[in-house]
Amino acid sequence: MERPSLLRRLATPRATPYTAAEWTAQPWPARLRMACLAWAMDGYGSPVAIYALYGLKVLFYVGAWVGFVALGESGVGWEGLLSADGFKKAVLWSMLYESLGLGCGSGPLTGRYLPPVAAPLHFLRPGTLRLPPWPNLPVLGGGLRNGVHVGLYLGFIGALLVALLSPVVTPALVAPAVVLLVLVGLSDKTIFLAARSEHYGVLLVCFLFADDWLAGAMAVQLAIWMWAAISKFNRHFPAVICVMLSNSPWFRWRRLRKAMYRDFPEDLRPSGLAGVLAHLGTAVELTFPVLLLLGDGGTLTVIGLVVMVLFHTFITANVPMAVPIEWNVMVVAGALYLFGMHPEVGPQDIQSPILATLLLVCLVVVPLVGNLRPRWVSFLMSMRYYAGNWAWSVWLFRGEAADKLSAIKKASDHPAVQLRHFYPDDTVVTLLSKVPAFRAMHLHGRTLQLLLPRAVDEVEAYDYADGEIIAGVVLGYNFGDGHLHDHRLLARVQAICGFEPGELRHIQVESQPLLDPHLAWEIRDAHDGLMESGRVSVATLSALQPWPTGS
């Protein structure tokens, strides 16, 4: 038998311990158990070459920023890169990069294979679905994209480019991008979130205030870390550590992977070691921003920066799903510039009452409301990053009902269709079998065991699709925000596809609110509407395995 070439081996996913025929022949509980055990040992099983592509993408991201800075007055070299314009262009370029779908939520690790980036193709195509936050707004409301909405997106991209190509970044150059970001967000919240507006958008607002932008940018950076740490004050984060390290391209020692779980393969709840790592990570994320806030350029600042770099390096090196790699690079670079080069400045130095009020709303009020009432605010705007406590959904299509999605104008097909351009059917089935395992192994995903029997009579008669996959196809973008594929998207899809009763069932689970030990859930039929709703305690979920055990 001829040995496959090195290139082919590097591009082939790691084999699962089961074949497609073996997996599909099992009832749903057995399927899920098989996939969860496979994830625990091999993660998603992505080919080695995929990680190399992401590395090249980061090099392009950094190299393009260097090129934009070289066009400025400071020119090429460290003087330009470490200048105020160097930082501002890093923010502008990062927002442009994300708005074009090149950063978070891009490529094979997010279910995008051909094309690896679909967002701009979707956002520039009239007739595609969009999600305005207020659908009844004149011109900006509605549900389908037209020339006005495409023009706003193009105008926003153009405004960012104009500022990037300018010798000096001034408030006058930034203002059009801020205005167009608001208009684009009112026409489609998907683009607003894709642009990482909770971070880069607020920084652009700071740039409008020539005397206060530096202090304002520091406030933004500190808020991101603090709220991200606060959001991990729950039982969810240890499961995140398990899932992430099991998927790590470097964390390959099987004995250590098994140590992340209580008793592999019988008990896949997080072990004590996973809990210690989770709590340690939360403590670190709380500590270094305090050191940077209190530091004056001396020992505290140095310690804070070193710990910060190690913290984000650990996250980035493990290539978390949804791949917020470039965002982590920007967070590190921004911190080194803000706190490393300007320790004499702090958020307390903001003089403008207008900027202070805007930052109070964006950095305190919105995240606080989003943590207490997650139903109202995106997890991104709430700065609840990678805590394992996300809103999510499952779409269940009976038989061939998913074929009706072909009536929706879109820029890419279902990942299964995309994958068949590269791999045989057996590989496609086994690779995608890991998708429900990823969901089930997080604490919130264990609600599936309780809700699937309520939603459908026979799970095996339905095609299971995670809401992230559906959003990626019909919206052109997804990044872990369950509000992009909740009942509002279901209604838009139903209006176009016209599913019959029972053809599409939708399970939606909301994030756990801060100080409330419950998750709210709803089950809907695309045709008939709300079927059932309720709440489940996190303590109940903590006692369950990722798969149904029959107990």
- Tokens encoding 324: 């917020």
Are 479 and 112 in contact by the 8 Å Cβ rule? The answer is: no
How far is it, in rounded angstroms, from Cα 511 to Cα 481? Answer: 10
Write down the pLDDT at residue 80.
Answer: 85
Q: Which residues of 50-67 are buried (b: 16+ CB within 10 A; e: fewer)?
A: beeebeebeeebbebbbe
- Tokens encoding 255: 């004995």
- pLDDT (tens place) for every residue of the chain, 551 residues total: 444 554 565 578 888 999 999 999 999 999 999 999 999 999 998 888 888 889 999 999 999 999 999 998 877 778 889 999 999 999 999 999 999 999 998 988 888 898 999 999 999 999 999 999 999 999 999 999 999 999 999 999 999 999 999 999 999 999 999 999 999 999 999 999 999 999 999 999 999 999 999 999 999 999 999 999 999 998 999 999 999 999 998 888 899 999 999 999 999 999 999 999 999 999 999 999 999 999 999 999 999 999 999 999 999 988 888 889 999 999 999 999 999 999 999 999 999 999 999 999 999 999 999 999 999 999 999 999 988 999 999 999 999 999 999 999 999 999 999 999 999 999 999 999 999 999 999 999 999 999 999 999 999 999 999 999 999 999 999 999 999 999 999 999 999 999 999 999 999 999 999 999 999 999 999 999 999 999 999 999 999 999 999 75
Rounded to two decimals, what is the model's pTM?
0.94
Q: With the C-alpha atoms ordered 532, 533, 539, 542, is the resulting torsion angle positive or negative?
A: positive
CA distances from 267 to 19, 27, 453, 545 (A): 23, 20, 23, 7
Element (H, E) at 155: helix 147-165
Q: Where are the domains of the chain?
A: 392-542
Q: Decide the pairing of beta strands 504-509 and 392-398.
A: antiparallel
How far is it, in rounded angstroms, from Cα 313 to Cα 511? Answer: 27
